[in-house]
């Protein structure tokens, strides 16, 4: 059990982080280490916590944290945040140092500063959740029914033969709405609860208190939580005042709540897509948005782990993998077009082949590569040269050029063909 001292969460954070690390090492899943005792928010050394701390330093420097000035903070913690000119330093104390120094402060100061930090971290996490970028780690999907309706092979490793697949998965979930009796019990247990009705949609909700947020400019947004039969909403008090939610008498609230519960279907169906199998070679070709990894078990007892792909991004991902609308162009024909400067080739992983004029000579150049790709590309036979202090890669224009291009296309699928103007 933790004492009611905010900075004491530093010890819980250390335990949560180390158990997550232990779970990742021993079971390949970081959440298993804590056996469900800790939440991801308990780890105060996460990227969201570090971003919140940076914002905390900025607000402190701007004098926007009530109850503690910059000079007071530097004096009591021994941390220096400013340069000789008075600006905020580029290299600020890390989260571990800040947490340790916070423990040396008086309890009331600890609680004041940690409350500001928690509000900032909550804002960062909720923002990441809303944007679909929040890292929950490996998440297990449970449903009444999970079936694979389509399975498509999108990549086969040229050496090992291991494959990558895109699966279309149908799921059926049972909806369990919050009953009226349970809703009224929650309202009675919270003195600040308010029964609400939306005058436009005729829906019911219970207004409950929730944590406030500190915004980037240092202002505090006081919020409330609206509990509904199948979901919950969060509003700032100012934003709630501009909606159609209004206090209602108990009779009207009960009628509308019951009506909405009765209208809820027993099941809901949905479809999602995941990429499974060999992922590392094609990881850079997958969409940057939503890198959530799911674990599922189908009705046929098949266990699957894969990366979720948003429905709107499936088509573009397949094109990037060279699956849909693959240009039909033989390596010999493609090579001739490149050498003559008639075409350019767009490859997966953001690569582009085109004819370039280098030192009064036409050469076939590969652009868009990363530093990590260079050894593998050179192993295929590409020539590297430093020109104007920049590394450039070329396919020799001799007799082996066509074969070398074919090997390159085996590893980086042909995505598109551009005309001479685009290739120049």
Question: Which residues lie closer than 8 Å to 107 by C-beta, 6 or more apart?
Answer: 5
Question: pLDDT digits over 267-311, tens only?
Answer: 888 888 899 998 888 888 887 766 778 888 899 889 898 888 877
The tokens for 413 are: 């699928």
When pLDDT is cut at 50, 70 and 90, the band that residue 206 belongs to is: very high
What letter does residue 88 receive in the DSSP assignment? B
**Residues 405 and 365 sit within 8 Å (Cβ to Cβ):** no
pLDDT, tens digit, 9 for 90 and up, residues 304-345: 988 888 776 777 777 777 776 545 567 787 888 888 887 888
For the ranges 62-66, 113-117, 137-141, 236-240, the lowest mean pLDDT is seen at 137-141
Minimal CA–CA distance to 260: which of 202, 216, 214? 202
Mean pLDDT calculated for residue range 386-407:
86
Residue the block writes with tokens 């109850």: 67
62 vs 271: CA distance, rounded Å? 48
3-class SS at 354?
A: strand
Residues 298 and 81: their CA atoms lie apart, in Å, by 54
- In order of 146, 182, 283, the CA distances from 313 in angstroms are 22, 40, 14
Would you kindly state where each structural domain of the chain is located, as residue ranges? 6-131, 138-175+267-320, 180-263, 331-423
DSSP H helical segments within 296-365, as ranges?
A: 314-320, 331-340
Backbone torsions φ then ψ of 175, nearest 5 degrees = -95, 125
H-type alpha helices, 242-348: 250-263, 314-320, 331-340
Q: With beta carbons less than 8 A apart as the criterion, state whether 30 and 22 touch.
A: no
Which tops the pLDDT comparison, 173 or 134?
173
Give residue-wise pLDDT tens across range 28-40: 444 444 444 555 5
Confidence grade of residue 208 (pLDDT, cut at 50, 70, 90): very high
**How does pLDDT run across 353-382, given as a tens digit for each residue?**
988 888 767 889 999 888 888 999 998 889
């Amino acid at each position: 059990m933790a004492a009611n001292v905010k900075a004491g969460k530093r010890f819980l954070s250390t335990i949560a982080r180390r158990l997550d690390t232990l779970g990742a090492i021993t079971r390949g899943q970081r959440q298993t280490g804590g056996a469900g005792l800790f939440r991801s928010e308990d780890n105060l050394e996460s990227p969201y916590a570090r971003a919140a701390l940076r914002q905390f330093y900025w607000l402190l420097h701007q004098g926007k944290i009530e109850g503690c000035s910059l000079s007071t903070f530097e004096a009591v913690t021994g941390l220096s945040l400013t340069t000789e000119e008075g600006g905020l330093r580029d290299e600020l104390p890390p989260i571990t140092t800040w947490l340790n120094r916070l423990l040396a402060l008086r309890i009331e100061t600890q609680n004041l500063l940690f409350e500001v930090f928690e509000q900032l971290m909550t804002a960062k996490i909720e923002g990441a959740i809303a944007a679909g970028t929040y890292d929950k780690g490996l998440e297990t999907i449970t449903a009444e029914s999970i079936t694979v309706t389509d399975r498509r092979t999108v990549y086969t490793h040229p050496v090992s033969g291991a494959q990558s697949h895109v699966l279309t998965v149908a799921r059926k979930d049972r909806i369990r709405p919050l009953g009226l009796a349970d809703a009224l019990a929650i309202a009675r247990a919270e003195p600040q609860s308010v029964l609400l009705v939306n005058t436009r949609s005729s829906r019911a909700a219970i207004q409950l208190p929730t944590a406030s947020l500190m915004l980037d400019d240092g202002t505090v947004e006081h919020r409330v939580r609206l509990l509904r039969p199948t979901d919950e909403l969060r509003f700032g008090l100012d934003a709630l005042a501009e909606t159609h939610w209004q206090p209602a008498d108990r009779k009207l609230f009960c009628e509308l709540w019951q009506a909405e519960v009765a209208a809820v279907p027993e099941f809901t169906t949905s479809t999602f897509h995941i990429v499974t199998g060999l992922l590392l070679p094609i990881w850079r070709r997958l969409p940057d948005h939503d890198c959530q990894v799911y674990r599922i078990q189908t009705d046929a007892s098949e266990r699957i782990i894969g990366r979720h792909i948003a429905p709107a991004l499936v088509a573009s991902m397949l094109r990037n993998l060279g699956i849909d609308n693959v240009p039909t162009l033989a390596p010999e024909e493609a090579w001739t077009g490149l050498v003559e400067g008639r075409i350019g080739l767009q490859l997966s992983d953001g690569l582009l082949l085109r004819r370039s004029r280098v030192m009064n000579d036409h050469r076939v150049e590969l652009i868009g590569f990363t530093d990590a790709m260079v050894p593998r590309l050179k192993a295929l036979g590409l020539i590297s040269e430093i020109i104007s202090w920049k590394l450039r890669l070329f396919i020799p224009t001799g007799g082996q050029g066509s074969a070398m291009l074919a090997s390159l296309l085996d590893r980086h699928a042909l995505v598109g063909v551009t005309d001479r103007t685009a290739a120049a």
